[in-house]
């Protein structure tokens, strides 16, 4: 009788264990089928320009200024042309290990008039840096601007400096985009909406804020524009030394 009871309890425990495993598996399948897991933040393909300035090229001068296998790189699609809906958008650049003391971030209008310049201290700095323009410098809607980030390897001989550049254009939010953003209940869903609309600036800025909680989305975005080798790089902070706001005459 005691052996029969023991056998019965063993069968019951096995049955309960199977139910728990089945329930856990069902919960996992259910979680993976929720909208949050089905979101895609891959950025649409963009043709690469013949003279892309997204990364620095190699050179014989100033090579000792930077080190590592990844060059100074602007985090943007291959065509280096992006859009934004913000008057004060954010920019992201990967800064490799370097021996420089300073860098310069500038924005110019279509007449090549500089509207903003920022001097930065990059000593002992490497990683992904976020660049922002102040609220009193606003981009004009439908006007294209050129931005540059320069690592100053030699203050006297600029031929050895490392430079990346790109263009950015502020656009209006149309009614469809407004509706889709209102229906996006989480920042991750908003990033998907921006990506589908090919608005790079807000896509990457949103996912940068979410990187610690959702690193997979950050990796997916950068991989979709050919920057997978930078996706795992840490964020870094640079100290602003001086900023200049210039107004066209």
Instruction: Note the pLDDT of residue 42.
Output: 81
Q: Is the pLDDT of residue 16 over 60?
A: no
140 and 218 in one domain?
yes
Please state at what angle helix 187-196 crosses helix 175-183, rounded to 10 degrees: 150
Residue 42's contacts (CB-CB under 8 Å, 6 or more residues apart) are: 195, 220, 221, 223, 224
Q: How far apart are CA 208 and CA 213, in angstroms?
A: 10
Averaged pLDDT for residues 184-207: 95
Q: Is the pLDDT of residue 11 over 80?
A: no
228 and 144 in one domain?
yes
Are the CB atoms for 168 and 144 separated by under 8 Å? yes
pLDDT class of 35 with cuts at 50, 70, 90: very low
Q: Which residue, among 113, 82, 100, 111, has the nearest Cα to 150 in the 3D structure?
A: 100
Instruction: Note the pLDDT of residue 67.
Output: 87
How many structural domains comprise the chain?
2
Most confidently modeled range among 11-15, 98-102, 241-245: 98-102
Residue 39, helix vs strand vs coil: coil
147 and 27 in one domain?
no
pLDDT class of 79 with cuts at 50, 70, 90: confident
Please state at what angle helix 215-224 crosses helix 187-196, rounded to 10 degrees: 10
Give, rounded to a whole angstrom, the gap between the first and last alpha carbons of the chain.
101
Output the CA torsion sign for 203, 204, 205, 209. Answer: positive
105 and 59 in one domain?
yes
91 and 200 in one domain?
yes
List pLDDT tens digits, range 211-240. 999 999 999 999 999 999 999 999 998 777
Radius of gyration for the alpha carbons in the chain, expressed in angstroms and rounded? 25
132 and 77 in one domain?
yes
166 and 82 in one domain?
yes
Instruction: Note the pLDDT of residue 242.
Output: 65
Residue 231's contacts (CB-CB under 8 Å, 6 or more residues apart) are: 218, 219, 222, 223
Please report, for the domain that includes residue 112, its CATH number.
2.60.40.2550
Domain that holds residue 173: 39-245
List pLDDT tens digits, range 123-160. 888 999 999 988 888 999 999 999 999 999 988 888 88
Instruction: Note the pLDDT of residue 45.
Output: 64
Q: Is the pLDDT of residue 189 over 60?
A: yes
106 and 90 in one domain?
yes
115 and 26 in one domain?
no
């Amino acid at each position: 009788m005691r052996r029969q009871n023991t056998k019965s309890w063993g069968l019951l425990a096995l049955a309960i264990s199977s139910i728990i495993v089945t329930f856990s598996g069902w919960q996992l399948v259910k979680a993976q089928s929720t909208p949050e897991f089905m979101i895609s933040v891959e950025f649409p393909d963009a043709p690469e320009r013949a003279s892309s300035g997204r990364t620095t090229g190699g050179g014989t001068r100033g090579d000792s200024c930077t080190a590592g296998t990844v060059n100074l790189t602007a985090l943007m699609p291959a065509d280096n042309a992006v859009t934004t809906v913000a008057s004060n958008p954010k920019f992201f650049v990967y800064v490799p290990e370097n021996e420089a003391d300073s860098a310069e971030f500038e924005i110019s209008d279509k007449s090549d008039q500089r509207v903003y310049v920022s001097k930065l201290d990059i000593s002992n700095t490497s990683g992904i840096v976020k660049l922002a323009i102040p609220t009193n410098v606003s981009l004009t809607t439908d006007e294209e601007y050129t931005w540059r980030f320069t690592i100053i390897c030699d203050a006297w001989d600029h031929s050895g400096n490392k430079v990346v550049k790109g263009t950015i254009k502020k656009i209006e939010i149309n009614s469809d985009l407004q509706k889709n953003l209102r229906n996006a209940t989480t920042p991750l869903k908003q990033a998907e909406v921006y990506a589908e609309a090919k608005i790079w600036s807000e896509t990457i800025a949103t996912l940068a804020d979410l990187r610690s909680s959702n690193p997979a989305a950050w990796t997916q975005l950068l991989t979709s524009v050919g920057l997978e080798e930078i996706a795992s790089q840490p964020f870094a902070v640079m100290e602003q030394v001086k900023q200049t706001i210039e107004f066209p005459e």
